[in-house]
Structure 1
Amino acid sequence: MRTLLLFLQNHWLALRQRLAPLIALIPRPLRRAGLWTLLALPLAVLLYALALVPFTPGISDIRKAKSELPAQLMSADGKLLAEYRWANREWVALDKISPNVVNALIATEDHRFYNHFGLDWRRTASSVLLTLRGDPQGGSTITQQLARNLFPEEIGRSRTITRKLKEAITALKIEASYSKDEILETYLNTVPFLYNAYGIEMAARTYFDKSADKLNVLESATLIGMLKGTAYYNPVTQPERAQARRNTVLAQMVKRGKLDAKQLDGLQKRPLRINFERQTEVMGPAPHFAHQLRKTLIAWADANGYSLYSDGLVIRTTIDSRLQAYANRAVAHQGRQLQGVADAAWARRDGWGPQNELVRTLVRESTEYRAAVDKGDAPDDALKTLLGDTAFMQKLRSEKTRVQAGFLAQDPVTGHVLAWVGSRDFAQDPYDHVQAARRQPGSTFKPFVYGAAFANGASPTDTLMDTAVEIPLGGGRVWRPSDGGPPSDQPMTLGDGLAFSKNTITAQVMQQVGPARVAEVARALGVRQSPLEEVPSLALGTSPVTLKEMVTAYSSIVNLGRYVEPVVITRIEDRHGKVLETFAPSTPQEVFQPRAAQTLRNTMRGAVDKGTATAIRTRYGIQADVAGKTGTTQDNTDGWFILMHARVVAGAWAGFNDGRITLRSDYWGQGARSALPMVGEFMQQALRTNVVSTRDRFVDEFDTPPPTDNSLNSMREWIRGLFHSDTPAAPAAPPDNTPPHPAAPRVQPPVTIDPVDATTLPGPA
């Protein structure tokens, strides 16, 4: 308010001098009455404007907008992970911007820029008169345009007197806060230029592949010409309009003395030369992690009176930049391997062909098909046309058969998230396969079944018969789980049933403990957001969950039944290093019997030592104390692997965004070959570089086998009474046909997320 009154006071004398000749023309008898009449409307407008002042941005907000210090997301070891900018731009000083840009801007948009205080009364009056004559013209100064660019929500875009008054008041405040050069610098760094390019630097790179200080007069005129309507004068899609507008800007530069008139004719004849390259935003090494945190951080900043985009906040996270780099490389490497498999399989005629009903369905679901039908084409004709369109079919295949992956590593003791990879490429697929995607976990869900059994008094050495199983579901339905091959009809220990991921054994254990109890165990350990369907097939992982939930649940197993809430932020500081808030570490909660959890954790060593995950030892040379579980869903749609170590739990998922798409390979589609290599490579590198201690081992809190729970003796007796033999010889481990890994050292591990029919079974683990 005070600033506005000072401006009015300082310019009142100048305004009286300009109005004096006009007042003298009015006859004296009418002058007094006419003067009051003339003053009534401006006075009303002035009073209304004064009432609007509190509803416009404050001086502190205006000063802050120019400073623009984006919040920095830092790793636990002090490396920059991301910056939270409100737009994709790079701020450059005015002296780093070509003078041609400044000259073109002032000549075209506001040639009296250095002579007014934010409002150009002559231009405003001219705009009003032209608009009343039916030729709408903009009357905003550069300062008024800057006000709209900086505060679009506060000022608004509607064509009303309220908006214009808010714009004018904000422009006066900007003039009071900034010098003229600062206004130009801020304007040129905040104006949008399409294609997610904000500011003159990003515009120069996008349209001419050069920096803003290298723009010549033609390039400068082209970009400034876009400001009248970026889409209408887009030089990429509307080159003729853009060239005509460029020539208008050049003419204005001559008119305002910014360009020699002798050059005009030659310059206007020059063709429009664009070197277009869309600028991708620099996402940093953990883009999905940064994106997941953005809403939380904005809410914190708003609640505490800060701006995430301009106050220079420093957010300290739990991510280890070294482990994040290993995870990124592992996902990228395995992603390329799997993509080659998928491309070869789907390129065949029997894969991506017009006779494939899935392909025909995908075409019908495409936007191109819907657009053709909406335009009036018969559905069959539209389908036939698109199936015959080679370019369209190649594009659709590329989109639908792009292999995706997710990876998460977490310290089970502290709950600190150490590495987070949400997809193979954030720019291509920002969808997060760690926290957002829910997929069937397959056999990685089986530990919850065995954990429930161990809590009920069962032992890993108890035996069941590997034989065909039929479980009544009610209503005449029967569930017949099976494995990749016929059952051996031999006794098998529960430990081997888990190590070799035997569905027939797991189904029998589920039958004894019950789906409700298994679901209870899974929820307690960490599967707390995804709904679990309490049916027998839950034992084989038919209820979709997230990778984050599964890694957290396995961390609870390492912790001997103690759940630790995942932690991602440790503290937030201001730009000077002052700690604004410290986030308390998670407190472990005992959610499952520690003795049963210890038994389960130790039993899960079997998958790595002799079962489905032996590649961890044989291919990646990891000889540390680790345990884990592979998982594969029906038709090899989803591949999983989670590895447990005393100070790190690392899990990976591989598949496609569309659950109907598969790798079309029984070999590569298994979790042991699709997901395990990501975890194996990650752990190998973490150990090789000594980021993770090789000395950490699981700690047993209980030295003796658990005593039998008398109230649950019936289950043990049922199990042991099935046959006379106690412990069979362990079945031979399945051959590991994975190509050998080069010279893997014998070292230890690192420190530190489509329903299946209940009568069927997910594929081999």
Structure 2
Amino acid sequence: MAIKKNNNKPDVVRDIDYYRKKFWRVFLYTLGGIFLFFLLASWGLLGHMPSFDELENPNSNLATEIISADGVTIGKFYNENRTSVKYSDLPPHLVKALVATEDERFYEHSGIDGKRTVGAVMRLGTNGGASTLTQQLAKMLFHGEGSRFLPFRVIQKAKEWIIAVRLERQYTKNEIIAMYFNKADFVNTAVGIRSAAKVYFGKEPKDLNIEESAMLVGMLTNPSYFNPVRRAERVKTRRNIVLDQMVRNGVLDKEKATVLKEKPITLHFHPESHTDGIATYFREYLRDFMKEWVKENKKPDGSDYDIYTDGLKIYTTIDSRMQTYAEEAVTDHMANLQQEFWSQQKTNKNAPFVNLNEAETERLMMRARKNSERWSLMKAEDKSEEEILKSFNVKTKMKVFSWKGEKDTIMTPNDSIRYYKHFLQTGMMAMEPRTGNVKVWVGGINYKHFQYDHVAQGARQVGSTFKPFVYATAIEQAGMSPCDSILDSPFTIPKGRHHVTENWTPNNSNGEYRGMVTLKKALALSINTVSAKLIDKVGPEAVIDLTHKLGVKSDIPAQPSIALGAVEITVEDMVAAYSTFANEGVYVKPQVIVKIEDKNGVELYKPVTESHDVLNKDIAYAVLKLLEGVTESGSGARLRTQGGGNGYNRVTGYPYVFKNPIAGKTGTTQNQSDGWFVGMVPDLAAGVWVGNEDRSAHFKGITYGQGATAALPIWAMFMKKCYGDSSLKVSMEPFKRPANLAIKVDCYTPVVKDTTDTEGGQEQDTEELDLGG
């Protein structure tokens, strides 16, 4: 018998059944929709999602580090000043402060904290979004701050969750912590925890103490709002909240926290920029090198390296200790020398130019105007030349360089040009003769205000520092020795000989002739007639050939007057050339890079040392003995003396009283426009040039303008600092004497006391020559 189904249910029961079915239908549709929403998001159909490779290698925009030979980071190339650290480099209290403040259940969840998320939903997000550390990292790595438009915010939040879960699967908790700290922006050029520790406290992250760690963690909520440079009290309050959170989570004793909360915010603020720190000129030289390097060296996939984002590590030959000592020596001496220069210019109506007429001065000033940034910018705005020139006479607020710090002032751009042309400039380089490793590179007095590099860019007349090349050629080509005698007497090279277009009769600058002198004494006293006789004996071509073999790249005119140093050479080339004598006649090309690595430590580049034989050991040693004579009884003798009067202590830094063997040569050009000193000990050669940007700006007299006063003190101060640092182990030993030396080098030369008043007369030896520019 069939049973008849009863459809006569009460209305209430039918309504309950209807709403129950509707509820489950809506619930399942919603659940399915959410599932589909997350599925579409994970597939990237709602916007880009990182691939497995991107998760494996997130774009962290890492700065390229420039690392010195002694392991110090001396600079960076960056869009964001970020350098990665490993979890093991982070102090435990820094990690505990972060977890206690930002994500208490970090070690319990898998990317999403369900409890905090539900709480945030119940509060409609009014008390924060409940983002875990992993979610915050996902936001920083892959989709930024997001949109305020609600639908987009929902999509971005979903993507953030998905990425967070994937990150948790891909990385350990410790790796996520390290990535978070490496990515965080702490403002003031500090991106990442290592930069933040350096910028705010001048230390590595592992050296941060508890209160410093708490301050940095406290900044993470809003780095601009909690900027310690501008808002110390606000930052202190926030730091103390972090300390309280550490107490609350049991990772810091309450008593200790109470003591730490009373401490003020103490910063050692050193913002890192391209114009601050040591070796600024060298870093710019290296930047130019790297721009060329990336063109010739590609990534494995064929794409270009980016020196600003790929986190390369450039290991250099520069020694941060020596570099610091060199920059200190430059600052100490140049500030004093500049003071004397200002003093002498007070009576010069056309300061700082000497012996220029009005038309010549205007040509020089016009060239400076056209090379200025003001001219370039106004030209780009299609301003007429008349309008541009007029602007140079309008007084303007500006910040100018001085040796006592930057000064705010008001002056016309024309006055600014003249002001800056007063400043004496310098270039200094030091290298190891045997390896070619450059240890010091000082391209000028202040990179922010004077960006021309006087080590590699600026070739200047070298004066008497060229004479050793003439003597070396004579020893090699004519078989002479330092002890051979030659007549110091008036001498003329007649018209037609060695391409001379008219009779050339060089004069000794003090008008004296000494009769028979040894080559060693002649070089020590920088006697012009002897240099002229030697180049006449061997010919200018032979001297030029040897000079080029010594690594000098300058074009040198084939005329006898080069014997007096009317040749423009860079500091870099001069130091490398002199180093050849200290390296037993073997030229080694200067090198500044040891190796380049990628961010993972894979070696990408290692230079091959370039070298070639120039002179045999005997000849090289003979030249060294000649150069030793300069510091024993010539223009470099003040290296060994107690000094003199007439204000020299203030300007030159007397006394030096070096007792070890030193080979060196001073040089001074016409009108004291250039002062030089190149000095060597067995394992270190250093050269210094000093002069104004324009040759027409110079000291009026030889006393302060000569190389022995302008350049030698920087070398001496630098070497004293190096010898005072036992960790450097700079040699004080004699130069290595070749076995079975065939050239006579041990000749008696009476020691001459440093005679300040007459030494300059021995120094000034080049002539005004038209060298074709």
Give the TM-score normalised by the residue count of structure 1.
0.62
**Is the counterpart of residue 116 in structure 1 residue 155 in structure 2?**
yes
Counterpart secondary structure, 2:705: coil
Measure the CA separation in 2 of the matches of 1:358 and 1:278. Answer: 43
Query: Counterpart of 1:667?
Result: 703
Residues 432, 481 of structure 1: alpha-carbon distance in 2 compared, 3 angstrom cutoff: same
How far off its partner does 1:684 sit? 1.2
**Aligned positions, number:** 570
Aligned mate of 2:570, from 546, 549, 557: 546
Any conservation in 2 of the 1:317–1:569 contact (CA below 8 Å)? yes
Any conservation in 2 of the 1:480–1:759 contact (CA below 8 Å)? no
Query: Counterpart of 1:505?
Result: 530
Measure the CA separation in 1 of the matches of 2:561 and 2:548. Answer: 17
How far off its partner does 1:566 sit? 2.1
Query: Counterpart of 1:289?
Result: 282
Query: Counterpart of 2:420?
Result: 399
How far off its partner does 1:57 sit? 11
Any conservation in 2 of the 1:525–1:561 contact (CA below 8 Å)? no
Query: Counterpart of 2:505?
Result: 480
Q: CA RMSD in A?
A: 5.3
Counterpart secondary structure, 2:486: strand
Measure the CA separation in 1 of the matches of 2:656 and 2:271. Answer: 40
Query: Counterpart of 1:600?
Result: 623
Q: Deviations over 1:263-309 (max 9, x none)?
A: xxxxxxxxxxxxxx998446442222233223444635952446544
Q: Deviations over 1:473-502 (max 9, x none)?
A: 657523332232113252222211111111
Measure the CA separation in 1 of the matches of 2:532 and 2:561. Answer: 8
How far off its partner does 1:378 sit? 9.5
Counterpart secondary structure, 2:461: coil
How far off its partner does 1:732 sit? 5.2
How far off its partner does 1:613 sit? 0.6
Counterpart secondary structure, 1:67: coil
Any conservation in 2 of the 1:613–1:672 contact (CA below 8 Å)? yes
Residues 217, 477 of structure 1: alpha-carbon distance in 2 compared, 3 angstrom cutoff: same
Counterpart secondary structure, 1:114: helix
Any conservation in 1 of the 2:275–2:448 contact (CA below 8 Å)? no
**Is the counterpart of residue 615 in structure 1 residue 652 in structure 2?**
no
Any conservation in 1 of the 2:520–2:626 contact (CA below 8 Å)? yes
Any conservation in 1 of the 2:63–2:82 contact (CA below 8 Å)? no
Counterpart secondary structure, 1:667: helix
Any conservation in 1 of the 2:394–2:412 contact (CA below 8 Å)? no
Q: Deviations over 1:130-175 (max 9, x none)?
A: xxxxxxxxxxxxx9xxxxxxxxxxxxxxxxxxxxxxxxxxxx9999
Residues 482, 11 of structure 1: alpha-carbon distance in 2 compared, 3 angstrom cutoff: farther
Residues 702, 110 of structure 1: alpha-carbon distance in 2 compared, 3 angstrom cutoff: farther
Measure the CA separation in 1 of the matches of 2:51 and 2:693. Answer: 46
Give the partner amino acid of 1:735: T
Query: Counterpart of 2:316?
Result: 317
Aligned mate of 1:583, from 606, 626, 630: 606
Aligned mate of 1:424, from 427, 433, 445: 445
Query: Counterpart of 1:735?
Result: 755
Measure the CA separation in 1 of the matches of 2:272 and 2:71. Answer: 27
Aligned mate of 2:681, from 638, 645, 662: 645
**Is the counterpart of residue 655 in structure 1 residue 691 in structure 2?**
yes
1:551-590 to structure 2, matched below 5 A, reads: 551-575=575-599, 578=601, 580=603, 583=606, 586=609, 588-590=611-613
Measure the CA separation in 2 of the matches of 1:430 and 1:663. Answer: 23
Residues 175, 391 of structure 1: alpha-carbon distance in 2 compared, 3 angstrom cutoff: farther
How far off its partner does 1:381 sit? 8.2
How far off its partner does 1:603 sit? 1.2
Q: Deviations over 1:662-716 (max 9, x none)?
A: 23442221111111111101111111223234552211114444399xxxxxxxx
Counterpart secondary structure, 2:709: helix
Aligned mate of 1:460, from 475, 482, 491: 482
Give the TM-score normalised by the residue count of structure 2.
0.61
How far off its partner does 1:404 sit? 1.5
Measure the CA separation in 2 of the matches of 1:758 and 1:622. Answer: 37
Give the partner amino acid of 1:458: M
Any conservation in 2 of the 1:91–1:189 contact (CA below 8 Å)? no
Residues 733, 414 of structure 1: alpha-carbon distance in 2 compared, 3 angstrom cutoff: same
Query: Counterpart of 1:758?
Result: 769
Residues 108, 116 of structure 1: alpha-carbon distance in 2 compared, 3 angstrom cutoff: closer
Any conservation in 2 of the 1:524–1:592 contact (CA below 8 Å)? no
Measure the CA separation in 1 of the matches of 2:720 and 2:153. Answer: 64
Q: Deviations over 1:431-483 (max 9, x none)?
A: 22212221111111110000000012112233333233333365752333223
Measure the CA separation in 2 of the matches of 1:311 and 1:68. Answer: 6
Residues 287, 329 of structure 1: alpha-carbon distance in 2 compared, 3 angstrom cutoff: same
Measure the CA separation in 2 of the matches of 1:479 and 1:118. Answer: 86
Any conservation in 2 of the 1:434–1:548 contact (CA below 8 Å)? yes
Residues 759, 319 of structure 1: alpha-carbon distance in 2 compared, 3 angstrom cutoff: closer
Measure the CA separation in 2 of the matches of 1:198 and 1:84. Answer: 13
How far off its partner does 1:535 sit? 1.7
Aligned mate of 1:68, from 55, 61, 78: 61
Residues 535, 64 of structure 1: alpha-carbon distance in 2 compared, 3 angstrom cutoff: farther
Measure the CA separation in 1 of the matches of 2:312 and 2:271. Answer: 29
Measure the CA separation in 1 of the matches of 2:84 and 2:607. Answer: 36
Give the partner amino acid of 2:551: G
Any conservation in 1 of the 2:393–2:413 contact (CA below 8 Å)? no
Measure the CA separation in 1 of the matches of 2:81 and 2:464. Answer: 43
